[in-house]
């Protein structure tokens, strides 16, 4: 998959977008926690904050945010460019880079969480040593900052993970990672609930415990609204991370059900969802391969035989009435010596193309190509009561097709023989390798009649048995005489077609 196919038009823009969303999540979270602790918490709401205290708090917050955001941006930019170096350089990732890119959201959020853990320190020093405030509000502030950091970290992780999904899809290239390094569906949803809803409710409970007799309506309103908004946002992003891939898969499954096997879904997740996406792609690839094999198999043995082979496998056969049509190129040896190889191949392909088209039009199948000849069968593997009439019509039509082709291929001339009777049809060979074919006297007789047909102007001969069984088709055939058949004591009475 190329970068443009994954939705990444500009890798540099992806880097800045990711860093922007990471920084914005932490900035908004920090501002929300600061405003709550300085102005809206039960401790702050219960007493009026002196102006010098407010100035000290704002100055401390501004300095700490400037230092932490600056250092965090520098570290994040370096780590992100290192993780996406393969994308920025326009090349495929190495195996180690594939693993690293999946860990990028956690690698980016981890320093921010560390700063959140350190954030209470300067405010504790300010409260206890500079402003000489009691230790209890400092403890409450410490807990509030830690809880705010957990919520902000969860939101930042989900935003970064969602932003980098196109890079995940490009790095994984349709396959899941060698080792699962990602949150599964259940842990992801449970963690989202805990950080998006559980932590805000815990903050409310702690506010009630520490409030005493102070008016806590405003703090409760702020925490409730914040919990609703942040909880919904975290759960929405977590749900989309699961629902979007499943929606894509549902559309892909619908296309497969409609017969479109040229479909694949991007693997953009390193956990359970990614395994499901990769499994779907492997399933469709297997269906494509099976379709190609069936098509190739059908081209080799014929569609009817291919279907019969899929329904019934193993060695064995059955006796049935069928007709055989044999066609053989005249003067093939001299043809190969006289013409260039390309012309010989073109002539044979023209012959076999006419054979396949004519025989299939009459419901027969080409059992095999034998050098410069072909054996065609009517009445097997599918029962056809009028198999003789079909074979006779095919013989007449094939001769006329070859006459027309002779304009383009002057050396294209062939004898055609038709016979019918009882044959053995089935899978012949070994258990490891067998083929469906027909064996019997009609096959031999058709081949021998072909040799005699080459000596006649009409180029077509059919046995009397075939003409007799042909019904109405017999009116197009006239007696041609008796012809000796090798291996038989008596000659065979044969007929040749009459053309308008």
Query: Given phi > 0 = left and psi -120 to 50 = alpha, else beta, which region is 411?
Result: alpha
State the alpha helices, DSSP H only, in 378-427: 387-405
274 Cα distance to chain centroid: 13
Average pLDDT over residues 298-304: 50
- Tell me the pLDDT of the chain averaged across its residues: 82
Return the percent helix, strand and coil in the chain, to nearest 5. 65, 15, 20
What is the rounded CA–CA span in Å between residue 89 and residue 81?
10
Closest by CA to 321, choosing from 406, 385, 252, 269, is: 385
> Given this model, what pLDDT does residue 62 score?
93
> Residue 462: its pLDDT value, please?
95
Predicted confidence (pLDDT) at residue 197 exceeds the cutoff of 80: no
Report whether pLDDT(16) > 60.
Answer: yes
Are residues 6 and 266 in contact, defined by beta-carbon separation less than 8 angstroms? Answer: yes
Which of 74, 80, 114, 72 is CA-nearest to residue 100? 80
Range of 12-21, 237-246, 317-326 with top mean pLDDT: 12-21
Whether a cis peptide bond, with omega within 30° of 0, leads into 381 is yes
HSE-up (13 A, CA, CB side) for residue 45: 20
Instruction: Give the pLDDT band of residue 464 (cuts 50, 70, 90).
Output: very high
Region class of 376: left (phi > 0), else alpha (psi between -120 and 50), else beta: beta
Q: Is the pLDDT of residue 221 over 50?
A: yes
- Reading the block at residue 286, the tokens are 């297997």
Tell me the pLDDT band of 15, cut-offs 50, 70 and 90: very high
Residue 241 pLDDT grade (very low, low, confident, very high; cuts 50, 70, 90): confident
**Residue 350: in which H helix or E strand, if any?**
helix 341-361
Higher pLDDT, 266 or 163: 163
Of 45 and 150, the structure prediction assigns the larger pLDDT to 150
Identify the burial level of 72 via C-beta atoms within 10 angstroms of its C-beta, where 0-12 means exposed, 13-18 middle and 19 or more buried: buried
Q: What is the pLDDT of residues 329-384, one digit of tens each?
A: 998 877 878 888 888 888 899 999 999 999 989 988 888 888 888 999 998 877 88
Query: Are 414 and 303 within 8 A, CB to CB?
Result: no
pLDDT band at 4 (very low <50, low <70, confident <90, very high): very low
pLDDT value at 228 more than 70: yes
Element (H, E) at 428: strand 414-429
What secondary structure letter does DSSP report for 3? Answer: T
Structure pTM?
0.59
Task: Measure the CA–CA gap between 452 and 52, rounded to whole angstroms.
Answer: 120
Condensed to tens digits (0 to 9), the pLDDT of residues 64-116 reads 999 999 999 999 999 999 999 999 998 888 888 888 888 899 899 999 999 99
Neighbours of 93 (CB within 10 A): 21
* pLDDT for the residue 301: 47
pLDDT > 90 in the chain, percent: 32
The pLDDT confidence band at residue 494, using thresholds 50, 70 and 90, is very high
Q: What pLDDT score was predicted for residue 239?
A: 80
Given its phi and psi angles, is residue 319 left (phi above 0), alpha (psi -120 to 50 degrees) or beta?
Answer: beta
């Amino acid at each position: 998959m190329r970068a443009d196919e994954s939705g990444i038009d500009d890798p540099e823009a992806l880097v800045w977008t990711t860093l922007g969303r990471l920084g914005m999540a932490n900035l908004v979270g920090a501002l929300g926690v600061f405003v709550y602790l300085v102005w809206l918490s039960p401790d702050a709401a219960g007493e009026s904050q002196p102006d010098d205290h407010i100035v000290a708090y704002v100055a401390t917050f501004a300095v700490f945010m400037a230092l932490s955001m600056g250092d965090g941006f520098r570290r994040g930019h370096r780590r992100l460019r290192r993780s996406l170096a393969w994308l920025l350089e326009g090349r495929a990732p190495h195996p180690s880079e594939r693993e690293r890119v999946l860990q990028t959201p956690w690698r980016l959020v981890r320093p921010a969480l560390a700063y959140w853990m350190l954030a209470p320190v300067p405010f504790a020093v300010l409260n206890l040593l500079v402003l000489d405030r009691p230790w209890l509000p400092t403890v409450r502030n410490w807990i509030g900052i830690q809880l705010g950091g957990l919520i902000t970290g969860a939101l930042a992780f989900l935003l970064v993970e969602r932003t980098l999904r196109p890079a995940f899809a490009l790095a994984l290239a349709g396959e899941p990672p060698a080792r699962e390094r990602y949150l599964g569906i259940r842990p992801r949803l449970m963690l989202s609930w805990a950080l998006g809803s559980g932590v805000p409710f815990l903050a409310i409970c702690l506010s009630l415990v520490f409030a005493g007799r102070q008016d806590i309506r405003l703090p409760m309103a702020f925490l409730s609204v914040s919990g609703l908004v942040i909880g919904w946002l975290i759960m929405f992003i977590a749900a989309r991370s699961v629902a979007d891939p499943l929606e894509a898969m549902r559309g892909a499954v619908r296309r497969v059900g409609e017969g479109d096997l040229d479909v694949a879904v991007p693997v953009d997740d390193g956990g359970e969802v990614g395994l499901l996406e990769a499994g779907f792609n492997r399933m469709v690839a297997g269906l494509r391969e099976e379709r190609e094999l069936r098509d190739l198999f059908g081209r080799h043995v014929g569609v009817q035989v291919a279907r019969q082979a899929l329904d019934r496998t193993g060695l064995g056969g059955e006796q049935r009435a069928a007709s055989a049509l044999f066609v053989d190129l005249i003067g093939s040896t001299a043809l190969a010596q006289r013409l260039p190889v390309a012309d010989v191949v073109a002539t044979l392909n023209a012959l076999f193309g006419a054979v396949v088209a004519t025989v299939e039009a009459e419901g027969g199948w080409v059992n095999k190509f034998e050098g410069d000849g072909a054996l065609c069968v009517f009445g097997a593997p599918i029962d056809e009561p009028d198999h003789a009439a079909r074979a006779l019509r095919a013989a007449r039509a094939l001769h006329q097709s070859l006459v027309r082709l002779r304009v383009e291929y002057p050396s294209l001339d062939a004898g055609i023989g038709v016979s019918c009777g009882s044959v053995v049809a089935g899978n012949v060979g070994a258990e490891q390798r067998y083929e469906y074919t027909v064996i019997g006297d009609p096959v031999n007789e058709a081949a021998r009649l072909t040799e005699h047909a080459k000596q006649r102007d009409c180029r077509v001969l059919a046995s009397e048995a075939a003409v007799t069984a042909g019904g109405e088709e017999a009116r197009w055939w006239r007696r041609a005489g008796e012809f000796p058949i090798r291996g038989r004591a008596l000659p065979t009475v044969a007929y040749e077609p009459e053309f308008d």
